[in-house]
Amino acid sequence: MSNQKYTREEALAFHLDPTPGKWEVTATVPMTTQRDLSLAYSPGVAVPCLEIAANPELAYDYTNKGNLVAVISNGTAVLGLGNLGALGSKPVMEGKSVLFKRFADVNSIDIELDTEDPDEFIKAVRLMGPTFGGINLEDIKAPECFIIEQTLKEQMDIPVFHDDQHGTAVICAAGLINALHISGKKIEEVKIVLNGAGAAGIACLELLKSMGAKHDNCIMCDTKGVIYQGRTEGMNQWKSAHAAMTDARTLEEAMKDCDVFLGVSAKGAVTQEMVISMAPNPVIFAMANPDPEITPEEAHAVREDAIVATGRSDYPNQVNNVLGFPYLFRGALDIHARAINDEMKIACAEALAALAREDVPDEVALAYGKNLSFGRDYIIPTPFDPRLIHRIPTAVARAGMDTGVARRPIIDMEAYELSLKSRMDPTASILRGINTRARAAQARMIFAEGDDPRVLRAAVMYQRAGLGQAVVVGRAPDVKAKLEAAGMGDAVEEIEVVNAGNTPHFETYKAFLYNRLQRKGFDRTDIHRLAARDRHVFAALMLAHGHGDGLITGATRKSAHVMELINHVFDADAEHGAAGVTALLHKGRIVLISDTLVHEWPDEDDLADIAERAADVARHLGLEPRVAFVSFSTFGYPVSERAEKMHLAPDVLDARGVDFEYEGEMTVDVALNAKAQDAYPFQRLSGPANILVVPARHSASISVKLMQEMAGATVIGPILAGVDQSIQICSTNSTANDILNMAVLAACKVG
């Protein structure tokens, strides 16, 4: 987005920590015993080798070929950066590989080939064919990309797809289907002008023509003007194929009375005068990156009836390739396709267009902080629509089967769609949704511990990510020195530094604090010392007086001590119903554990309060709460006095008539495992619990830290819930990213 900033150091740190690069390989089979090793390698591996040698199709059953795509480049046309060479392109290709995994659960490996010779490139890729289920070509300059892709398609029996060409074309086609639907026009009749005769532009026109656009209604332009029949200057066979019978010689002439403009060219290529000259209800896809040919504001200033799309996420209607390539390959891999053909690309475009015309799910509206509905500002689905994973691949797979490129057609499409729904990690969309809501909130966030480099880095990241204003409590010279030491000296001017010495509100803060603490043994000297010297107290006073929207603290002091200090200013204790809820994210699951912060030894009423606080947090995160009161016993056996309160807590919730699922007491395996729950048909949970209410704070702490250290779970929290203001307390071992996550939660007022 345009309002996001990052420094060179931040970008390098992201690619360096926690390990160099963006992905790693993990084993999917046990590798612990001698027997495991014998089966994985020698001698057991001989059995599938012989089976595959006899029947090559079995490679899809006994190896990872069926879910493995290679992202291959020679780095000759990298992301608007030009020819960086093979090695210089590797960070981009790694990034593409992780997008495959993130959006469609497709395993992907990046391969950089150190050659600009098309024949060498073709030979290398062709020889690697047995390894992969598909090939995604990336960032190869034109016209070599056309030669490479076409030759590999002819020589290989797996899908070969150059995303720079076809990915843009598919999303562009999806948007155009809906834009024409709104403007009441037919693709066979509209006049289309394309500016930019590179790989993406040519692919866009080819796909639209295969969908019904007429050849002579499509005018292609390059830097030398219109590509017309008879032109000789700056031509090649790919441009010549799209030369039109027209008298127009410039982009300006071509634009007159045209219905659709497609731009894959350069910033400012289109003027407002050109837009004025277009036909009624013009469609303008200004897809140049990072700056469009004309901005939506400029276009709408002269044509209110225009439908405008760009390649940018900070404008409506983003033409984003991530809506296409992951799902195209997902569908192609699942039918063991020999190719990705035009019919599959069109099916993808039509499915995307149809999705945008449907009601938008609540979680998408929640994530974007606004209601989205089909219309001029919403003709293309958002990349984080949870329906993409099960709607687009099914359409692609159907088209592949209908056109005969499927080696193994899918028999039960309904079961296939269900399997796709279960593939995706729900935590990623939850975190994305929270970030988007935080960006919409634009909260003024108080970071209490401005003496800690991690906190300062998180504060700068918060502001540069466009999430809101970062306010740091600390001494300006210290903050400046620490930021400079962290390589972020330029951020000194961006963030606001506040302390007792420079705030005009200090006397107001002291009066408020004295009023709260005068009957708790604090005199005016104590109050002055607390407010002036303790950053946790000072930051809490800022929040209490509306001088910030949220507070982040706890990175430098134990949470129990921080809670004690915050309670000088707020009622954030067990008596007032506060609770700590920690989110554990692991292997595509999210489970909340509570109370991890406030209650030392809760009774059944406290446990019911904790469950209600945790249910609030779950709903803020986009989860439907299912609470389990967990113990070492299940429904009264073995009998234990210590488990009695866990048995009674559901009765308290019964009496309160709460509106979420809950059950207990039960062991953790019964709470989290649907098969284990089958042994207790009377229990009330409709599926595995996503909230575990534990007997005491010590058991909560042990559970969280064990999952973090042994299983590598991502921990977010503890989230302080049940307090009037948005306060989040980090742990002392938090990284800058952890602190940033807590700030995002505070901005969304989670809890």
Distance separating alpha carbons of residues 340 and 217, to the nearest angstrom: 27
Q: Which residues, 6 or more positions from 476, have their beta carbon under 8 angstroms from its beta carbon?
A: 497, 499, 502
Q: Which residues, 6 or more positions from 467, have their beta carbon under 8 angstroms from its beta carbon?
A: 435, 438, 439, 442, 443, 445, 743, 744, 747
* 82 annotated ligand-binding residue: yes
Q: Apex CA 514: angle with CA 513 and CA 515, to 5°?
A: 90
* 420 annotated ligand-binding residue: no
Task: Give the Cβ contact number of residue 147 at 10 Å.
Answer: 17
* 83 annotated ligand-binding residue: yes
Could you tell me if 684 and 709 are in contact, meaning their C-beta atoms sit under 8 angstroms apart? no
- In angstroms, what CA-CA distances link 476 with 61, 336, 362, 430, 576? 62, 61, 44, 36, 36
* 289 annotated ligand-binding residue: yes
Interstrand relation of 550-553 and 496-498 (parallel, antiparallel or unpaired): unpaired
* 17 annotated ligand-binding residue: no
Angle between helices 736-747 and 453-464 in degrees, nearest 10? 50
DSSP string, 243-259: -B--S--SHHHHHTT-S
Structure tokens at 6: 């990052």
* 78 annotated ligand-binding residue: yes
Distance separating alpha carbons of residues 264 and 282, to the nearest angstrom: 17
Structure tokens at 295: 């901005």
Task: Give the Cβ contact number of residue 273 at 10 Å.
Answer: 10
* 478 annotated ligand-binding residue: no
Residue 9 class from Cβ within 10 Å (0-12 exposed, 13-18 middle, 19+ buried)?
A: middle
Distance separating alpha carbons of residues 5 and 26, to the nearest angstrom: 33
Catalytic residue numbers read 96
Distance separating alpha carbons of residues 463 and 692, to the nearest angstrom: 34
Interstrand relation of 579-586 and 589-594 (parallel, antiparallel or unpaired): antiparallel
* 207 annotated ligand-binding residue: no
DSSP string, 487-533: T-GGGGGTSEEE-TTT-TTHHHHHHHHHHHHGGGT--HHHHHHHHHH
* 85 annotated ligand-binding residue: yes
Number of H helices, E strands in the chain: 32, 21
Structure tokens at 422: 């279960």
- Which residues contribute to the annotated binding site for NADP(+)? 78-85
- Which residues contribute to the annotated binding site? 78-85, 138-139, 164, 289
- Which residues contribute to the annotated binding site for a divalent metal cation? 138-139, 164, 289
